[in-house]
Amino acid sequence: MTVPLPDSKRKLAAAVPSPLPPLLYEETVRRALVEDLGRAGDLTTDAVIPVEAAGYARVVARADGRVAGLPVAAAAFWLLEPSLQVELRSVDGMDAGAGETLASVRGPLRAILTAERVALNFLGHLSGVATTTRGIVRAVEGAGVDGVRIVCTRKTTPGLRALEKHAVRCGGGANHRFGLDDAILIKDNHRAVAGGVRPAVERARAYAGHLVKVELEVDSLEELEEGLAAGVDAVLLDNMSPADLRQAVEMCRGRAVTEASGGITPETAPEVAATGVDLISVGWITHSAPSLDVALDVG
């Protein structure tokens, strides 16, 4: 079971993203535990730790970062042993300092040590995604640019998309498509097979329901004008220079949502944001984010 967040954290917690329903991650955590336990269970812990041993452990941040995946980590403990008492000391979407206790676990030590690695893998990875996202969001905010959102892509770890996209929200970013069924995004290969921008957009428009948005990836202002004439809802401006982005924003004003993409870093994001685009999409905040260093300390 999970103990409610302490009163001292509740006001801060109200400002962070809504927690994921356990239904969205319990099976993922269960599969990770099964993978780790294998055919014979935790040989080391079962050999060394007496079955009756009980104790206390803390989940600690070893570096500064933005927390994400704390309830997922907690699930690793109580799915393995429901009698474990897990107390969350922080909440997803909040910053943590090096040395800060994020959660505590009390109960059978065999279960605590067996679930340790699975819990820390989820927490470290998702907090790393949140921390990385926080970095590029702050880079744009620090430059005084308002109104642009940092969004992730479908470049996620197979099986972890819902969790990684939650981590992006915890870092202050927003989500692009969750999957292929969210919206229509016509990319260069779609255009090539369809015979160009106009036939691709026309086919998409004829196919889509009235609630389905159509976005078009373009590499040039000429392709952009063709797409706007065909009536797209959004445009993905791929690898354009700041000068071209500014012109594209003017062309799209009142006609389509603008999304800049392609090799954007925390160093270049402020200049891209200053062009007036609505969105900046970056795949590396999920596929290349380094894990946040977290650990379990017993006693």
Average pLDDT of the residues in 52-66 = 98
pLDDT of 14 > 60? The answer is: no
Tell me the residue ranges of DSSP E strands in the chain. Answer: 2-3, 54-61, 65-66, 85-88, 95-96, 101-108, 149-151, 184-186, 214-218, 234-238, 257-261, 279-281, 294-298
Q: State how far the alpha carbon of 255 is from the alpha carbons of 192, 224, 245, 260, in Å.
A: 24, 11, 15, 16
User: Which pLDDT band holds residue 102 (cuts at 50, 70, 90)?
Assistant: very high
What's the rounded mean pLDDT across residues 114-125? 98
**pLDDT tens sequence across 271-296:** 999 999 999 999 999 999 999 999 99
Q: Which whole number is the average pLDDT over 230-244?
A: 97
All domains of the chain, ordered by start, with CATH?
Answer: 2-129+290-298 (3.90.1170.20), 141-287 (3.20.20.70)
Joined tokens for residue 109: 């030590």
Distance of alpha carbon 75 from alpha carbon 7, whole angstroms: 22
Whether the Cβ atoms of residue 155 and residue 285 lie closer than 8 Å to each other: no
Q: Which residues are catalytic?
A: 117, 155, 187, 217, 238
Q: Model confidence at 256, in pLDDT bands (50, 70, 90)?
A: very high
Q: Which long-range contacts (CB under 8 A, 24 or more apart) does 267-273 make?
A: 267/139, 269/136, 269/139, 269/140, 269/150, 270/139, 270/140, 270/142, 270/143, 270/145, 271/242, 272/242, 272/245, 273/140, 273/143, 273/145, 273/148
Residue 147 is given by DSSP the state S
Torsion sign (Cα): 170, 103, 60, 38: negative
Closest to 247 (Cα-Cα) out of 237, 233, 232: 237
Q: How confident is the model at residue 16 (pLDDT cuts 50, 70, 90)?
A: confident
Rounded distance between C-alpha atoms, residue 43 and residue 183, angstroms: 48
pTM of the predicted model over 0.85: yes
Distance separating alpha carbons of residues 17 and 262, to the nearest angstrom: 27
Comparing C-alpha atoms, which of 104, 96, 101, 88 is closest to residue 63?
96
Taking residues 172-201, what's their average pLDDT?
A: 96
Q: Yes or no: say if 66 and 100 are a contact pair by the CB < 8 Å rule.
A: no
Q: What is the average pLDDT across 162-172?
A: 98
Q: 111: Cβ–Cβ under 8 A, 6 or more apart, which residues?
A: 77, 80, 81, 83, 84
